[in-house]
Structure 1
Amino acid sequence: MKTFRTICLAAVAALALGGGAQAADISFSGNLAGANDVLSFNFNVASTSTVTLRSYSYAGGTNAAGTVVTRGGFDPILALYDAGGIRIASQDDGSGVPADAVTGAGYDVNFSQSIAAGIYTVLLTAYSNFCGTTLSGGCQGGGSFTDATGNPRDSHFAFDILNVATATQTGGGTGSGGSTPVPEPMSLALFGTGLLGLGLIRRRREADAG
């Protein structure tokens, strides 16, 4: 009985420590408040993982949530910062993105890289509002709802943060999305086993006491 009790308590403790959080694909959408507005998102990576940051602002498409996004949004730029606020990557036009049906240009971002466990911040802005090498340094301005070829755009965006533990929009514009994934099925099973075991132990004690 002591052995079984130890196993049950270990299962409960493992879940409490958060070891069961699964990676998730998280979608955001909304609008910039103005051409120099800066959208900011924080995300957490539980272990070294290949994270993808993908916009559907310019050419539209279907995001990770299965939502069809219309074309016509602004030309986005992203900057990725580590927990210390140091820029570790940036991207203007991503490779492999579809061309806009009207302009023929592929100006969405599509960034993918293996990064270590930790908390990160990603900024999304309209071309050509480039952000600095440190998070505290801010962005230079010069954003526009007209793309590099002179075509008018609007303020809407859709942005995916893929293969992370959690992600939230922390500033800028309007928007919705983000979530905290539930524990994996195996973790839930361990938790249930632990609770069942503790219940049986309590009943055994009550029977012995009676």
Structure 2
Amino acid sequence: MMISAVMIGALAAVPAAIAGVVYARSAKANLAFFNPVNGGGSWLDNAGVGVGEPLNVIISGFSSPDVLTDDGIVNYARAIGFSEECFGIHIGTPQSANLGDGNGFVNQTIELRQDFGSSGLGTCLESLVGGNHFRVYRQNGPTANSGALFLAVSKEEDVFESHNIIPDGYDIGRDMLVTAATGTTNFGGVTYTTQVERMANLMPSGSAGVNHGMLLCVL
């Protein structure tokens, strides 16, 4: 059985207590992550028409290296109640993000949806009735190569509401994911130990530039 250590940063726009954390350090990481703004990036991805969705959870570059790979994030997602999209089909244009790492805007690596306890077919239910989901972006450019994964997490309405974000859905989705991930989880023979650090005042509060006009301020 493999054991992986994972550090999740949950971003908020108001102060919060910071928990002490111990992590397994990735061989490539000098920092847990680089602030995208310092490299000309943004805490919002690009959802089109001049708005974006918040990158409100970070899987630190100090996490076990296997978690930070494409296959690793999928297995970790399954351990915390998410899986790949229904039959691997993605409808809609992929969103992009600039993580300030020198790569400019890069399309999402993958989108993962709440699976309601079934890693095989559960995401088909999410596509119908709505639920939590997240997009993954990797910070690995030439000027800020932390290896960290930036997640845009949100809870959405059902298909009849065109999968719009529910009221306060960015903060609610973030907190649902963090609650599911905290502590010990497992999937596919891998056991994960995840600790969470709340990071305040990195992401600006308010609704300026935010998709669906949501207000970002609630822990």
TM-score of the superposed pair, with normalisation by structure 2:
0.30
Indicate the structure (1 or 2) with the bigger Cα radius of gyration. Answer: 1
Q: What is the TM-score normalised by the length of structure 1?
A: 0.31
Structure with bigger strand share is: 1
